[in-house]
Amino acid sequence: MVNTKVNLCGITLDNPVIPASGTFGYGYEFAEFYDINILGTFSFKGTTKEARYGNPLPRIAECTAGMINSVGLQNPGVEAVIKEELPKLKACFHKPVMANVSGFSLEEYTEVCAALDKEPQIGWHEVNISCPNVSKGGMSFGTTEEAAAAVTRAVKAVTKKPVIIKLSPNVTDIASIAAACEEAGADGISLINTLLGMRIDLKTRKPVIANKMGGFSGRAIFPLALRMVYQVRQAVKIPIVGIGGVARARDVIEMMLAGATAVQVGAENLVNPFVCKEIIETLPTEMRKWGIEDLSEIIGGAHECQKM
């Protein structure tokens, strides 16, 4: 029998399949379709200090092999997540869950993480540093090594649980930013967040999305995400969560060979709500097809092949 278990920052997962933040709500919505306890874990909807409506409509655009979204971190705020969402989640999901945290200042990141750190069901903090740093003119925290490291240090100072920093691909050198986060104390890295893209309506000759541009995700970005996971694996020793265009069991194995310990499934959840279940069910067959008995043994395997 093949072994699909992996260890992510000290916590054992039954398998490496994780629905990505923003594509799985707070879990209980999908629990109406299947038993979500088969998942390794999942990353719940991005959470900020205060409730946010998000960006103006329309904020979704279809495109070839993917989609563009500009939802704008719509969420009820951390207090409501703790009081209302987590109790409902606890009723249907009995494993540690990943809390996705966003902020517009160092203070907001630390306040949200400190509040969530007290919740027993939270296993990891996934800190999204693609948010604009309002004190620096709106530049994303994830665009420079210094800013990324500053968020990492600030969050680590107020948490006891593992901190995974989620990186933006809209940078020149993602590996150096990952290395700066590791040096600042990050327990793991997740990548990639969405790429910046847009669509134009030929009838109106205006951008489809009210915010003009948004995050491009879906199957089309898989090769780019894979390349970045591979590069970051060469730069850090901490665990990596690979994200971007994953749609089948074979993609999970490919991401792990590039260096990922676990793999998130994002946009595909919006196309097929059963995709994570299907990946988990077909993963053992795909492993046997390629002669893999233990998934944890193939992590970073593509790098080992380069040394031979």
In the prediction, which pLDDT does 270 show? 95
Task: Give me the residue spans of the domains in the chain.
Answer: 6-307
Which distant-in-sequence residues (6+ apart) come within 8 Å of 135 by Cβ?
Answer: 105
In the prediction, which pLDDT does 108 show? 96
The low-confidence residues of the chain, meaning pLDDT below 50, are none
Interatomic CA distance for residues 115 and 119, integer angstroms: 8
Task: Give the class (CATH, top level) of 6-307.
Answer: alpha beta
Q: Helix (H, G, I), strand (E, B), or coil: what is residue 67?
A: strand
- Best CA proximity match to 229, nearest among 151, 286, 296, 299: 299
Interatomic CA distance for residues 57 and 59, integer angstroms: 5
Q: How many CB atoms are closer than 10 A to CB 28?
A: 16
Interatomic CA distance for residues 32 and 149, integer angstroms: 40
Residue 174, φ and ψ in degrees, nearest 5: -70, -30
Q: Which two tokens stand for residue 289?
A: 């097809």
Q: Helix (H, G, I), strand (E, B), or coil: what is residue 208?
A: coil
Per-residue model confidence as pLDDT tens digits over 124-183: 999 999 876 656 655 689 999 999 999 999 999 999 999 999 999 999 999 999 999 999
In the prediction, which pLDDT does 131 show? 78
In the prediction, which pLDDT does 136 show? 66
Specify which residues 207 forms β-bridges with. Answer: 200
CA dihedral 82, 215, 224, 185 (to 10 degrees): -40
| Residue of 9, 131, 181, 276 marked active site | 131
- Best CA proximity match to 171, nearest among 133, 145, 137: 145
Q: Which two tokens stand for residue 247?
A: 């749609």
Phi-psi label, residue 240: left if phi above 0, alpha if psi -120 to 50, beta otherwise = beta
Told to judge if 131 belongs to the known catalytic residues of this protein, a careful annotator would answer yes
Q: Helix (H, G, I), strand (E, B), or coil: what is residue 308?
A: coil
Interatomic CA distance for residues 129 and 178, integer angstroms: 11
Segment (H or E) for 6:
strand 6-8
Q: Helix (H, G, I), strand (E, B), or coil: what is residue 124?
A: strand
Interatomic CA distance for residues 153 and 242, integer angstroms: 22
Interatomic CA distance for residues 258 and 260, integer angstroms: 6
| pTM score, whole prediction | 0.96
- Best CA proximity match to 152, nearest among 117, 188, 121: 188
